[in-house]
Structure 1
Amino acid sequence: MRLDVHDSFGTNYSPSLNVSYAMTDEITVKAGIARAFKAPTVYQLNPLYAWSTRGRGCPTGFPGPCDVFGNPDLEPEHSLNMEVGVAYANDDGWQASLTYFHNEFDNRIEAVYVDDPSYPGSLFRWGNSGSATVRGLEGNLVVPLHETVSWSTNFTAMLESREHEYDQPLSLIPDYTINSSLRWEAMENLGLTLSGTYYGEIQPRTVDHNNDPIPEEEQIGRDPYGVVSFALDYQINDNARLTAGVNNLFHTQLYRTGEGANTFNEPGRSFYVGLTGSF
């Protein structure tokens, strides 16, 4: 149970209940339900505060610059989150799980367009846009291939990710995401990891925040694509650890297709080195 006491929205309870049952030594079923409360921030409530962007933070279909003003009449956002799943684990290191999740959002807080022809650019005000549903499946698999080699994979598959008011997809959520990695403990103090992530298609919005149709050539979605990375970690001594790697090994690149917040870049190959000390 969580208790929030807010100056503007009073007392709010966020109860949660989670249960699990071990059917056997290796199989466990679990379920949970929780209610969440999210109050607007001080900035979102302040009508004299404006958040500005030259274009890259503007919603789809709106040219920059954009200004987002606070709204003292905002209501808090509520959600109901439910999940049920089953997990398997044995003494040999095999692990597997599958979970169904279902989240209902009400009074979602987002930037709402204000129609003001005299305003230079696009004007928005924080508002409550209604309800949305996010539901899908999450899975995980760990396979010990050898004493020093293990393979792990997890995925998220969206069954529904839509706002109800205009029946539109929520932005930047792919249909599915798969992460897989192969790890080799090459030496007692050296580990090598080859990993890959594959993103499914992102569905574009077909109407803007005023329910006006977006021309097909301006509808911004994204095709599926994958990224492969490599990393190593070396334990120098009890107090120092070295890490290094290459992100996006094959230099997969996506370029921004618009100036809105619903577009993005995949920057290509990058390298990193890190040293961690503990005392």
Structure 2
Amino acid sequence: MSKYLFLLGCSIVLATPAAAEQPRPPSGADLDNMGTASPVRASVITVVASGTSEALGQSGQAIAIIGREEIEQVQGADLTRILQRAPGVTITRNGGIGNFTGVRIRGAEAEQLLVLLDGVRVTDPASPGGGFDFGNLLSGAIDKIELLRGSNSVIWGSQAIGGVMAVTSRETDGVRGSLEYGARDSIYANASAGISGNAGAVTLNGGYFRTDGFSSAAVGTEPDGFRQWQVGGRGSVNLAAGLQAIAALNYADGRLDIDGFPAPAFSFADTAEYQDTREVSGMAGLKYRSGPLDLMAAYSLSETERDQLDPAFGDDPTYSTKGNSERAEIRGKWDFADTLALRFGAEREWSRFTSTFDDEQRAAITGVYSQLGVDTGRLVVNAGARLDDHSRFGSAVTFGADAAFTLADGWSLRASVGEGFKAPTLYQLFSDYGNQTLEPERSTSADIGIVYGDRILANYFAASVFRRDSENLISFVSLPAPPFGIYQNTGLARAQGIEVEGGYGLTETISARLAYSFVDTEDRSSGSTNRGNELARRPRHAATLSADWTPGDFRLGSDLRLVSRSFDNAANTVRLKGYALLDLRAGWQVTDAFELFGRVENVSDEQYQTAAGYGAAGRGVFVGVRAAM
């Protein structure tokens, strides 16, 4: 505890930018006539609440939005350092950057977070849990992150049990670039170029990252490196009054050194194995807006290929997987009265997977939903329902509602209740361990909170109390005879707690912010020997304290991450100790178009693990430049 207090003091003393660095509401926004909630919340646009572009104040759900300015302020390729500045977020990583990285929201499984990249669902149908690996998503091409915390399958369908994260790639008018070098011979380069006008807009971006890394096995000594290059772009064309064509495409290719279980000990240790991963996602569609009607229709696809190779066995992969999903959807909003709006949508998704040991398997799911919204100015209420039909397990119905009430002086109350479901993955249904009688995982979540302002400003505050009950959770059950295991619906779980976040401008140049969550999890599975235990890898306490000082063109800052102990397994017999990580950062805006920056990560060289047996990064120093024209 004394070390935590020491680091906390360092974080406050070694402050940096925030008051001057905070993003501002959009230029030209009419802050006096935005309708619901506070003017600031009414000027911030989100899509995760209802599936269409809405002011943040038109939803009673818990949503955090992180913009490009904050991403650049934190620095670096590692997206987890940015996500941890939002409450309710904890991270699990199997080694260094590039390794599997799971993001848990309010104690949910990492696979229960739905992730959208430029509107495309980017989960991997070939992975056992069907989740998204954040190890392959780096920060350089990202413009905005929207994070909804809570179940919301009414709008988003399968997988939205823990929450929904919408990631939007950069949109640039001009040319921008950055170059960074640092610890473990790491280099990260990014460039984006774009143009916009009355006819439309287009942006292209690209990035390259390479690091020698460190041993993924905590007991290992051989560095496990990671290399990735990424290209992408997004654009729009104004076809006619109110009619716009939109498109986006993203591709990432990575190579990751991995450790394994070599003979004769067959324990986790250094190996020469590596993994190649190729991810592609894209969408094309139309947007139409005329008077009270907004419509969006799109087709999207996502594909992930993974090859594991061991030089000891030649150049051919020892194991390969390929997951693919295609999706056609239409979403809309009809403001059919002064205070009433109908949001609606329909979608069809086709998914398939294959692996070295599994023949191609397919499934499809169709969903329709509607949501009625009432906005009286001070009070906003939304309620809706959804019906999904899956080609393998049948239908699922979900409900949800939220409300927000504006108090005086920028304060508002908000509350939400939502149901979520997650369809069994193709691997869980059809692999050697598959079970075609599986039912979808289900959840019901509720929260209530109070909000002042929004995190885009120096002064803001939000506090929430939440609970989520989950049932039919799918787990692997061992058997005494071949195939020695099968997936079954066996689990019940509860996660509940509180979240607090806020920011305060101490002076015009000094500010501080805090994101804290207390999450109490419990395995409630009937008849299980683990009943009453904490869920694995869910720390009860997690907090990030940031402090910033901006004297003119110079910036100094710090981020302190505090995480309490947790358990690595369901039996609660393998303990992961708590840890504290302090990062220091600095920047100098030399000219309007040129900036120098640098940081020190893990200043105290803390030794810690987020997954038992896997190493974590020690102290590292990084420097870089940004330029624009």
Query: What is the TM-score normalised by the length of structure 2?
Result: 0.35
* Aligned match of 1:168: 533
Letter in structure 2 aligned against 1:77: E
Highest relative contact order (Cα 8 Å, sep 6+), 1 or 2?
A: 2
Deviation of 1:46 after TM superposition, in Å, equals: 1.2
- Deviation digits for residues 58-96 of structure 1, max 9, x if unmatched? xxxxxxxxxxx3322221111111100112349x94322
- Deviation digits for residues 207-227 of structure 1, max 9, x if unmatched? 4xxxxxx8xxxx211333211
Deviation of 1:47 after TM superposition, in Å, equals: 2.8
Aligned residue for 1:266, secondary structure, equals coil
- Deviation digits for residues 9-60 of structure 1, max 9, x if unmatched? 3333333211111121232111001111111121221134xxxxxxxxxxxx
Deviation of 1:178 after TM superposition, in Å, equals: 1.2
Letter in structure 1 aligned against 2:521: S
* Aligned match of 1:268: 618
Aligned residue for 2:469, secondary structure, equals strand
Deviation of 1:109 after TM superposition, in Å, equals: 1.8
* Aligned match of 1:41: 425
- Deviation digits for residues 129-180 of structure 1, max 9, x if unmatched? 221000000001211011121100110012x201112222101111201110
Aligned mates of 1:86, 1:38 — CA distance in 2: 29
- Deviation digits for residues 174-194 of structure 1, max 9, x if unmatched? 120111000122434x43321
| Residue 178 (structure 1) aligned to one of 526, 529, 543 | 543
| Residue 152 (structure 1) aligned to one of 510, 513, 524 | 513
Tell me if the contact between 1:231 and 1:243 (Cα under 8 Å) persists in the aligned partners. yes
Tell me if the contact between 2:450 and 2:464 (Cα under 8 Å) persists in the aligned partners. yes
Question: In structure 2, do the counterparts of structure 1 residues 192 and 10 end up closer, same or farther at CA, with 3 Å as the change threshold?
Answer: farther
* Aligned match of 2:443: 79
Identity of aligned residues (%): 22
Root-mean-square deviation (Å): 3.0
Aligned mates of 2:442, 2:434 — CA distance in 1: 19
Question: In structure 2, do the counterparts of structure 1 residues 143 and 250 end up closer, same or farther at CA, with 3 Å as the change threshold?
Answer: same
Aligned mates of 1:16, 1:240 — CA distance in 2: 48
Residues 1-279 of structure 1 mapped to structure 2, 5 A cutoff:
1-2=154-155, 3=367, 4-48=388-432, 69-89=433-453, 93-116=458-481, 123-158=484-519, 160-165=520-525, 166-188=531-553, 190-203=554-567, 207=571, 219-233=573-587, 243-254=597-608, 264-273=614-623
Letter in structure 1 aligned against 2:505: P
Aligned mates of 1:126, 1:274 — CA distance in 2: 47
Deviation of 1:240 after TM superposition, in Å, equals: 6.8
Letter in structure 1 aligned against 2:423: A
Aligned residue for 2:550, secondary structure, equals strand
Tell me if the contact between 1:201 and 1:223 (Cα under 8 Å) persists in the aligned partners. yes
Q: How many residues are aligned here?
A: 238
Question: In structure 2, do the counterparts of structure 1 residues 33 and 255 end up closer, same or farther at CA, with 3 Å as the change threshold?
Answer: closer
Aligned mates of 2:594, 2:441 — CA distance in 1: 44
Question: In structure 2, do the counterparts of structure 1 residues 127 and 238 end up closer, same or farther at CA, with 3 Å as the change threshold?
Answer: farther
- Deviation digits for residues 82-126 of structure 1, max 9, x if unmatched? 100112349x9432221001001111122222234x88xxx4432
Aligned mates of 2:475, 2:550 — CA distance in 1: 46
Deviation of 1:255 after TM superposition, in Å, equals: 5.8
Aligned mates of 1:183, 1:93 — CA distance in 2: 10
Letter in structure 1 aligned against 2:516: F
Aligned residue for 1:45, secondary structure, equals helix
Aligned mates of 1:104, 1:110 — CA distance in 2: 16
Tell me if the contact between 2:491 and 2:524 (Cα under 8 Å) persists in the aligned partners. yes
Question: In structure 2, do the counterparts of structure 1 residues 247 and 78 end up closer, same or farther at CA, with 3 Å as the change threshold?
Answer: same
Question: In structure 2, do the counterparts of structure 1 residues 139 and 230 end up closer, same or farther at CA, with 3 Å as the change threshold?
Answer: same
Deviation of 1:241 after TM superposition, in Å, equals: 6.1
Structure 2: unaligned runs, 5 residues or longer: 1-153, 156-366, 368-387, 526-530
Tell me if the contact between 2:588 and 2:597 (Cα under 8 Å) persists in the aligned partners. yes
Structure 1: unaligned runs, 5 residues or longer: 49-68, 208-213
Stretch deviating more after TM superposition (18-27 or 144-153): 18-27
Question: In structure 2, do the counterparts of structure 1 residues 243 and 127 end up closer, same or farther at CA, with 3 Å as the change threshold?
Answer: farther
Tell me if the contact between 2:535 and 2:570 (Cα under 8 Å) persists in the aligned partners. no
Letter in structure 2 aligned against 1:136: G
Tell me if the contact between 1:47 and 1:72 (Cα under 8 Å) persists in the aligned partners. no
Question: In structure 2, do the counterparts of structure 1 residues 145 and 76 end up closer, same or farther at CA, with 3 Å as the change threshold?
Answer: same
